[in-house]
Structure 1
Amino acid sequence: MSGDLAGRRVLVPESRELDLFASMLEAHGAEAVRCPLVAMRDVEDPAPVEAWLRRLAEGRFDDLILLTGEGLRRLMPIAKRMGIDGRVVEAIGRLRTVTRGPKPVRALRELGLSAQVTAPAPTTAGVIEALAGLDLAGRTVGVQLYPDNPNQPLLDAIRAAGAVPDPVLPYRYASDVDTDRVEAAIREMADGRIDVVAFTSSPQVRRFQDVAKARALEEQLRSGLSRTRIAAVGPVVADAVEAAGAQVWVAPESSFHMKPLVNAIRGEFRAA
């Protein structure tokens, strides 16, 4: 197959949009090696989420921070089961909403809503910077968190501004593919059989580390990450890669989602 990525084997650890991402790469000639590492699931105990949604529907919040699009998409079916989805949408529409990155913005648009404030960078630091320009004194701020990150710096920043944060965690991460497949991917990278690994979330990096530790493959993972080109969808993922002791080869300069990531990978191979 012809294309900028012809002959390149790209490891794809994406889960939710695996086929879409893989097809984008394959359209430019790549062989997409599918290895979905992390799945997103509903929380096991929905009671805290339901209580939070009731407070939202009752108008108990002044502001709302959305850190992920997945979070809002997980909240709405729960609200629908409770019979308050219409009230939740109306309540969000009345709030000053702050978003981290393009994904929560798109999730809001799906509900016919828009964000009032968008963080200058899709990171916790970017959200805190956006909040610094707002008067939060005496306000209650709903905060949609995401798994494996209690985000204490963000909650502390809200309190320091004189507001009360009210966080909710509407979903959890779960291992997706079996551990044997992850082990095989680590070995393929260590053997130089993967040209690029394209990370789209930081939990994917941690899943590799967890499997490497469990299977005594930490040296192979270090070797594989050092000899394989690493593409990161955005700065949060890049930070996770660097925390794992590896170097990011390419990342989009802006618009941190899959299509710009594919274009960034193509651009690096064209320039080589």
Structure 2
Amino acid sequence: MAITAGGDLGAGDLAGKRILVPESRDLDLFAGMMEQHGAETIRCPMVKILDLDDPAPARQWLETLLGEGFDDIVLLTGEGLRRLMKVARAIDREADTVAAIGRARVFVRGPKPVKALREIGCTPYRSAPAPTTDGVIAALATEDLAGRRVGVQLYPDNPNEPLLDAVRARGGLPVAVTPYRYANDSETGAVQAAIREMAEGRIDFVAFTASPQVRRLHEVADACGLGDAFREGFARTRIAAVGPVVAEAVEAAGGTVAVSPETTFHMKPLVNAIRKLLADGAG
């Protein structure tokens, strides 16, 4: 159920609520947003974003961008662009890379790659109507890509053949790159403890900000013989999802999303959506 943030929200409206926070990169920021409204947070970072062990694929993609060039670029994540720019700096081609991106039509999945583009002085050509693969495909559906080279930035653990096939179907020549990798961040013991607390009804919300967090929780449960506890906990704990991609991962894992922002898929709107759900009497 999507809830729009708003209404009469009080400063301590999360008081007495225990919220599991699987965020990694912005853990302190996200947990602090909820703690300032009275929540008790259980910090359990689950996924860390790292540079590639071998940056050669990212360098090769950049060499194509800087050589033949891309007519179009598809950015799925802001992190992807930032990691590519890090590689560009390492080979002393940062300014050239920014210029080459500026010459291309850039399609973005959502607000995070828009923000990353603005950081380097660029703007998107078109944003997806929804921050999902289907949304990007919809944004491309009216474009004639015949003979156009299309640089496609993917994210780890998802080769996204539907997106690449959609580019080919429009006549484009996709060149894909995955410029970073995921690593498990939290100790397995901490994840196991979180699963047990969910099953025991000791956690009021779990607030997911990325789909790999959901997969990590499920993987630990399966690996440690906690499948029943995971299913019980996932069924009884209210789940907050930052956006539709995360919501899909929750549903794939057998959960139901209780609350999600309707349009702006960031941490602050997610916190406000949780607050509004409680203020509306669902607490």
TM-score range, shorter chain: over 0.9
User: Per the alignment, do residues 253 and 2 of structure 1 end up closer, same or farther by CA in structure 2, a change over 3 Å counting?
Assistant: closer
1:2 positional shift = 5.9
Q: Where does residue 172 of structure 1 map in the other structure?
A: 181
Helix, strand or coil for the counterpart of 1:249? Answer: strand
Aligned AA (1:71): G
1:138 to 147, 157, 164: 147
Contact 1:59 1:91 in 2 (8 A): no
Q: Does 1:79 align with 2:101?
A: no
Aligned AA (1:27): Q
TM-score (norm 2): 0.95
Q: Does 1:107 align with 2:116?
A: yes
Contact 2:69 2:100 in 1 (8 A): no
Q: Where does residue 238 of structure 2 map in the other structure?
A: 229
C-alpha separation between the residues in 1 aligned to 2:66 and 2:40?
47
2:60 to 40, 51, 54: 51
Q: Where does residue 200 of structure 1 map in the other structure?
A: 209
2:72 to 63, 68, 73: 63
Q: How many residues are aligned here?
A: 272
State how 1:144-223 maps to structure 2 within 5 Å.
Answer: 144-223=153-232
TM-score (norm 1): 0.98
- Cα deviation digits, residues 5-57 of structure 1 (max 9, x gap): 01100100000110010010011111111000000011111111101111112
Q: Where does residue 254 of structure 1 map in the other structure?
A: 263
Q: Does 1:129 align with 2:129?
A: no
1:58 positional shift = 2.0
Q: Where does residue 5 of structure 1 map in the other structure?
A: 14
Helix, strand or coil for the counterpart of 1:29? Answer: coil
Aligned AA (2:23): E
Gaps of 5+ in 1: none
Root-mean-square deviation over aligned CA pairs: 1.0
1:271 positional shift = 0.5
C-alpha separation between the residues in 1 aligned to 2:223 and 2:134?
33
Which gives a bigger RCO, structure 1 or 2 (Cα 8 Å, sep 6+)?
A: 2
C-alpha separation between the residues in 2 aligned to 1:58 and 1:170?
19
Helix, strand or coil for the counterpart of 2:176? Answer: strand
C-alpha separation between the residues in 2 aligned to 1:206 and 1:158?
28
Q: Where does residue 4 of structure 2 map in the other structure?
A: none
C-alpha separation between the residues in 2 aligned to 1:221 and 1:57?
48
Q: Does 1:33 align with 2:42?
A: yes
- Cα deviation digits, residues 216-250 of structure 1 (max 9, x gap): 00100001111110000000000000001111000
- Cα deviation digits, residues 147-201 of structure 1 (max 9, x gap): 1110000000100111100000000110001100100110111111100000001
